[in-house]
Amino acid sequence: MTRPATDAESAPSAAPAPVHHQILIVGGGTAGITVAARLRRAGLRDIALLEPAETHWYQPLWTLVGGGQAPLRAALRPEAEVIPPGVRWLRERATAVDPVARTVSTATGRVFSYGRLVLAPGLSLDWDGVPGLASAVGHDGVSSNYRADLAPYTWELIRRMRSGTAVFTMPSGPVKCGGAPQKIAYLAADHWRKRGVLGNIRTILALPEPTLFKVPVFARALEQTARRYGIEVRLQTELTRLDGPERAAVLTDHATGRAETVHYDLLHAVPPQRAPRWLAGGPLADPGSPHGYVKTDPHTLQNPDFPEVFALGDVAHLPTSKTGAAVRKQAPVLVTNLLAGLRGRPATARYDGYTSCPLVTARHKMLLAEFDYDLRPAPSFPFLDTTRERTDMWFLKRYGLPQLYFQGMLKGRA
Ligand SMILES: Cc1cc2nc3c(=O)[nH]c(=O)nc-3n(C[C@H](O)[C@H](O)[C@H](O)COP(=O)(O)OP(=O)(O)OC[C@H]3O[C@@H](n4cnc5c(N)ncnc54)[C@H](O)[C@@H]3O)c2cc1C
């Protein structure tokens, strides 16, 4: 006589029950680690973090690597070193969220359920967004500081150049650190000036916006910087096509519709950027974001439709610049509101849109632009005039901020 099958036996293909965590964080970059550290400090015990990468990057240093001012190794740590003790590291890539079932699926087919979800997987670089860019980048004079492995190549190109045409471009749409596409142009020009070859090099800076920077006082300062180096600034202009073998870049002026082909010896290109595809097409994407970023209340950092979901950093659809500095101010707000929810209280902490852009303008010079959602100045050093190029600010960027990042922010202390 055969015994009756149990439920488990009669449904051999049924998926195993999701593994549950009180807090599930997707992404162990700047935002994910900062939030995890703060939640641990607040005493939460059941925190899991999905992150497939073995290396954690401090991306702001990539600009200085490309400008020959820092070694690449200064910008990285093994991921295992930055994950706060007590946080469970799931070395997996998230591939889908079901906010109704409160689950996240991964590339290996596992499913995790959550009490609260923090989305921090950053953004995607769309190298195919400009025809010809994907195949051209990384050789024959084309580089990008937006890839860690290519930042040293940027410096090699700058260092070797003695004459010819250098082109620096920025795509339209939100990008991480909106200042980075032009900072590298200033660092390159300053290096050529020091070498005495600046006069032999035609430098073109093509930016999609109508001004060099959206805060007027910094736009004026940057205009002076560009003038000092003799840089040809093309506003409302972007790279729309690239022919790597021919070393030809098509720059399209959106104001006039005119497309010009420029033959370059060096091209620093920044790819268009968008939300990761698995989120852009899903129920958490903001219909108001053409790039698929996650719908996020600009002040509480909570998803308005699914209050147990929070987002911060580059993936969040917020009307401010995407920077690590913004994450530093977002994380404490998000954590306060998440903890309030766990205690049945309303989300009252508010993020004001603070962001900051350290605008490196020369080998040892920098402006520090800090502002909020209304583009009002939000200076961290109100006693210093950071709208002028300053040497102390450059030292802050090169040495102070990486310390603050690795020892303060990632440990939930700053
Ligand atoms: C060249 C350059 C210069 C910059 N300069 C500055 C600057 O001067 N100042 C400043 O404040 N900011 C600067 N930034 C921007 C800053 O680095 C980012 O805004 C910041 O890192 C955003 O943090 P994040 O956690 O949202 O994303 P990230 O730090 O990019 O982290 C995202 C993490 O999610 C992981 N991930 C991705 N997909 C998945 C998935 N499906 N599942 C699980 N994990 C996933 C990734 O591996 C990564 O570890 C710069 C950036 C660049 C590229």
What is the total count of domains within the chain? 2
136 lies in the same domain as 268 = yes
210 lies in the same domain as 332 = no
Take atom 9 of ligand 1 and give the residue whose Cα is closest.
60
Residue range 160-201, pLDDT digits in tens? 999 999 999 999 999 999 999 999 999 999 999 999 999 999
149 lies in the same domain as 47 = no
Beta strand ranges found along 71-219 (DSSP E): 76-78, 88-90, 94-98, 103-106, 111-119, 124-125, 142-143, 164-169, 201-206
**Total residue length of the chain:** 414
Domain boundary among 316, 331, 354: 354
Question: Is the Cβ atom of 409 under 6 angstroms away from ligand 1?
Answer: no
The DSSP call for residue 77 is E
Residue range 61-110, pLDDT digits in tens? 999 999 999 999 999 999 999 999 999 999 999 999 999 999 999 999 99
What is the distance between the alpha carbons of residues 120 and 298, in angstroms, rounded to a whole number?
15
Ligand 1 atom closest to Cα of 58? 17
Q: Is 319 a catalytic residue?
A: no
Residue 404, domain member (yes or no)? no
Residue range 118-161, pLDDT digits in tens? 999 999 999 999 999 999 999 999 999 999 999 999 999 999 99
Domain boundary among 253, 272, 291: 272
The DSSP call for residue 295 is E
| Ligand 1 pocket test target in 59, 93, 127, 182 with most atoms within 8 Å of CB | 59
What count of other Cβ atoms lies within 10 Å of the Cβ of residue 196? 9
Take atom 5 of ligand 1 and give the residue whose Cα is closest.
60
Cβ partners under 8 Å of residue 249, min gap 6: 167, 169, 239, 241, 242, 243, 261, 262, 263, 264, 267
117 lies in the same domain as 51 = yes
99 lies in the same domain as 225 = no
Residue 12, domain member (yes or no)? no
33 lies in the same domain as 75 = yes
The DSSP call for residue 282 is S
Give the pLDDT confidence score for residue 16 in this predicted structure.
78
What 3-state DSSP class applies to 67?
Answer: coil
Residue 136, domain member (yes or no)? yes
What is the distance between the alpha carbons of residues 15 and 226, in angstroms, rounded to a whole number?
59
Take atom 3 of ligand 1 and give the residue whose Cα is closest.
60
Whole domain around residue 80: which residue ranges?
Answer: 19-123+275-354
Give the pLDDT confidence score for residue 14 in this predicted structure.
66
134 lies in the same domain as 267 = yes
219 lies in the same domain as 319 = no
- By CB neighbour count within 10 A (0-12 exposed, 13-18 middle, 19+ buried), where does 344 fall? exposed
266 lies in the same domain as 279 = no
pTM of the model: 0.95
CATH of the domain at 136: 3.50.50.60
Q: Cβ distance 249 to 140 under 8 Å?
A: no
Give the pLDDT confidence score for residue 3 in this predicted structure.
39
| Ligand 1 pocket test target in 69, 323, 394 with most atoms within 8 Å of CB | 323
Residue 369, domain member (yes or no)? no
100 lies in the same domain as 204 = no
Residue range 2-56, pLDDT digits in tens? 333 333 344 445 677 899 999 999 999 999 999 999 999 999 999 999 999 999 9
Residue 402, domain member (yes or no)? no
What is the distance between the alpha carbons of residues 403 and 16, in angstroms, rounded to a whole number?
43
Residue 305, domain member (yes or no)? yes
Residue 384, domain member (yes or no)? no
Q: Is 59 a catalytic residue?
A: no
Residue 372, domain member (yes or no)? no
167 lies in the same domain as 148 = yes
Per-residue pLDDT at 1 exceeds 70: no
**Beta-sheet pairing, 259-263 with 273-274:** unpaired
What is the distance between the alpha carbons of residues 230 and 203, in angstroms, rounded to a whole number?
8
CA 68 to ligand 1 center in whole angstroms: 21
Which of 130, 184, 312, 357 is catalytic? The answer is 357
256 lies in the same domain as 239 = yes
CA angle 411, 370, 390 (to 5 degrees): 100
Question: Is the Cβ atom of 67 under 6 angstroms away from ligand 1?
Answer: no
Q: Cβ distance 115 to 23 under 8 Å?
A: yes
